[in-house]
C-alpha cells in the first residue's frame, strides 16, 4: 500500500477524516507526485531532504488551519442545532414544555449537564435539568422538570441580589461551585422574570460559545414572552366571554337548573357558545346556542344574540317569533355569520318542557 492509498483511507473514514496528513517522500518528488498527493487528501507535501525548521513550520501551519476549520465546522453545526432547537422553543405549548426544551437544547449544543430556570406566566417557578437523579431516571434527551417555591434570595457583600440559580438545591455537584459553572440570564423585557441557563464552565470556553448560549437564552425568553402574551390575551378574552353569560340561573319550581360551562381542553380558543334561562309570565325558557367561530368576534356576536334572545323572551314572544327575530338580527349585525339555537320551554309546573325547537341562522 502506497502513502497515497494510506492517506485516502484516513480521509475517507469519517472517524479520522479531520486528522491532518502531511506526505513526506524522498522518491515521489516530481510535480505530478506532489499534485497527486494533495489531490488524494494530503494537507501538505514535503520532499526530502527537509530542513527541521521547514518541517516544524509546515506542521504548525497545518495544525493551525485544521483547528480553524474544526472551529468553523463546530460553529456551523451548533448554529444549525440552534436554528432547529429555536423552532422547538417557539413550538412549546406551555411553560413546562418550554423549560424542558430549553434544557434539552443547551445539553445538545454544549454536551454537558444543564439546568434551565424560568417563571411561568402564572408566577410559578420551574426548573429543568439533564443530569441523573438518584433513581437514574433523568436523561439528557428527557429533562426532568421540578417546581420550586421561590427563587433563592441571596445577596453578595455589596447587597446586590445574586442571579437566579446561585443556590438551587437541584444543581449537580459539578455546578454547585460558581467558579465551575456558566450562568446566563435572558429577559424579553426588563420588568419580566428572567430565563436562566446554567452550564458547566468547561463547555463554554470561547466567545462563539458564549454568543450561542446567549442567543439560546434570549430565544427562550422571547418564546416565554409569547406564551405570556397569549396567556394574558386568552385570559382577558375568556373573562370577556364569560361576562356575556348569565351570572346566575333563576330559581323556579318548574325545573331544577344547573350548568357546567367548560372548554373541551385547556388550550381551546374562545368561541360563541352560550346558554340562557329566564322565567317569564308565560313560563320557563331555556336556550343553548352557538355562534360559529373561535375568536373574540364570535364571542362578541354571541353576546349580542344572547341579550337579544333574553329581551325577546321577556317581552313574551313565542319561540318561532324569537328565532325569526334572532335570524334577522344575526343577518343585520354580522352578515355571513352562522348561529344555532336550541330552545326548550315550560308553560307550567306540570309540563316540565316542550319539544325543543331548533333553528339555524345563516347568511
Q: For 154-201, how does the pLDDT look when each residue is reduced to its tens digit (9 = 90+)?
A: 444 444 444 444 455 566 676 777 788 888 999 988 888 889 999 988
Mean pLDDT of the chain: 79
CATH number at residue 353: 3.60.40.10
Q: Are residues 330 and 280 in the same domain?
A: yes
Which pLDDT score, from 0 to 100, does residue 150 have? 40
pLDDT, residue 60, reads 93
Q: Tell me, what's the pLDDT at 159?
A: 43
* Confidence class for position 132, pLDDT limits 50, 70, 90: low
pLDDT at 139 over 50: no
pLDDT at 265: 56
Higher pLDDT, 226 or 154: 226
| Nearest Cα to Cα of residue 94 among 244, 213, 234, 259 | 234
Q: How confident is the model over 278-289, as a mean pLDDT?
A: 84
Q: How many domains does the chain have?
A: 3
Cell, residue 129: 435539568
Of 99-108, 191-200, 228-237, least confident by mean pLDDT is 228-237
Same domain, 267 and 353: yes
Judge whether residue 276 has pLDDT over 80.
yes
What CA–CA distance (Å, rounded) separates 289 from 303?
11
- Three cell numbers written together for 71: 472551529
Give residue 348's pLDDT.
Answer: 53
pTM: 0.60
CATH at residue 101: 3.30.450
User: Would you say residue 142 has pLDDT above 60?
Assistant: no
Residue 287: how many CB atoms within 10 A of its CB? 25
- pLDDT score of 138: 42
Could you tell me if 88 and 179 lie in one domain? Answer: yes
- Cα torsion 23, 27, 28, 34 to 10°: value is 50
* pLDDT exceeds 70 at position 153: no
Same structural domain, 87 and 67: no
Give the range of the structural domain holding residue 42, as residue numbers without chain letter.
Answer: 3-73
Q: pLDDT tier at 220 (50, 70, 90 boundaries)?
A: very high
pLDDT more than 70, % of the chain: 81
Instruction: Dump pLDDT digits (tens) for 1-37.
Output: 788 889 888 988 888 888 899 888 888 888 898 898 8
Same domain, yes or no: 95 and 205: yes
Instruction: Extract the C-alpha cell encoding 2.
Output: 502506497
List, for residues 79-99, the tens digit of each pLDDT value.
888 888 888 888 888 888 899
Among candidate residues 15, 39, 73, the one where a domain is terminated = 73
Hey, which of 41-55, 149-163, 265-279 has the most confident mean pLDDT?
Answer: 41-55
- Cα–Cα–Cα angle for 72, 139, 105, nearest 5°? 35
**352 vs 96, which has greater pLDDT?**
96
Say whether both 120 and 146 belong to one domain: yes
According to the model, what pLDDT value does residue 349 have?
45
Q: Which residues of 248-286 are buried (b: 16+ CB within 10 A; e: fewer)?
A: ebeeeebbeeeeeeeeeeeeeebbbbbbbbbbbeebbbb
* Alpha-carbon 240 to chain mean position: 26
Same domain (yes/no): 108, 148? yes
Interior angle at CA 106, CA 101 and CA 107, nearest 5: 95
Domain limit, last residue, from 27, 57, 73:
73
What's the pLDDT at 56? 93
Amino acid at each position: 500500500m502506497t502513502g497515497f492509498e494510506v492517506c485516502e483511507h484516513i480521509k475517507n473514514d469519517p472517524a479520522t477524516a479531520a486528522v491532518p496528513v502531511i506526505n513526506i517522500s524522498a522518491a515521489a518528488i516530481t510535480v505530478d507526485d506532489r499534485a497527486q498527493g494533495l489531490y488524494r487528501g494530503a494537507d501538505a507535501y514535503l520532499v526530502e531532504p527537509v530542513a527541521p525548521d521547514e518541517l516544524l513550520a509546515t506542521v504548525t501551519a497545518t495544525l493551525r488551519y485544521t483547528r480553524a476549520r474544526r472551529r468553523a465546522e463546530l460553529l456551523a453545526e451548533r448554529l444549525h442545532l440552534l436554528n432547529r432547537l429555536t423552532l422547538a422553543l417557539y413550538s412549546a405549548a406551555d411553560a413546562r414544555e418550554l423549560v424542558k426544551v430549553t434544557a434539552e437544547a443547551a445539553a445538545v449544543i454544549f454536551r454537558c449537564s444543564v439546568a434551565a430556570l424560568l417563571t411561568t406566566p402564572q408566577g410559578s417557578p420551574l426548573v429543568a435539568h439533564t443530569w441523573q437523579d438518584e433513581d437514574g431516571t433523568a436523561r439528557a434527551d428527557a429533562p426532568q422538570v421540578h417546581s420550586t417555591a421561590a427563587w433563592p434570595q441571596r445577596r453578595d457583600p455589596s447587597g446586590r441580589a445574586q442571579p437566579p440559580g446561585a443556590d438551587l438545591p437541584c444543581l449537580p455537584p459539578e455546578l454547585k461551585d460558581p467558579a465551575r459553572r456558566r450562568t446566563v440570564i435572558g429577559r424579553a423585557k426588563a420588568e419580566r422574570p428572567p430565563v436562566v441557563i446554567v452550564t458547566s464552565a468547561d463547555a463554554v470556553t470561547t466567545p462563539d460559545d458564549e454568543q450561542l448560549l446567549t442567543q439560546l437564552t434570549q430565544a427562550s425568553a422571547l418564546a416565554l414572552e409569547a406564551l405570556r402574551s397569549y396567556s394574558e390575551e386568552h385570559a382577558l378574552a375568556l373573562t370577556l366571554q364569560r361576562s356575556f353569560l348569565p351570572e346566575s340561573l333563576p330559581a323556579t319550581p318548574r325545573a331544577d337548573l344547573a350548568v357546567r360551562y367548560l372548554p373541551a381542553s385547556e388550550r381551546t380558543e374562545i368561541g360563541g357558545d352560550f346558554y340562557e334561562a329566564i322565567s317569564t309570565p308565560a313560563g320557563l325558557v331555556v336556550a343553548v346556542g352557538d355562534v360559529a367561530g373561535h375568536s373574540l368576534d364570535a364571542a362578541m356576536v354571541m353576546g349580542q344574540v344572547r341579550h337579544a334572545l333574553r329581551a325577546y323572551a321577556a317581552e313574551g314572544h313565542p319561540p318561532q317569533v324569537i328565532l325569526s327575530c334572532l335570524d334577522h338580527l344575526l343577518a343585520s349585525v354580522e352578515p355571513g355569520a352562522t348561529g344555532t339555537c336550541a330552545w326548550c320551554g315550560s308553560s307550567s309546573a306540570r309540563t316540565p318542557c316542550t319539544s325543543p325547537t331548533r333553528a339555524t341562522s345563516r347568511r
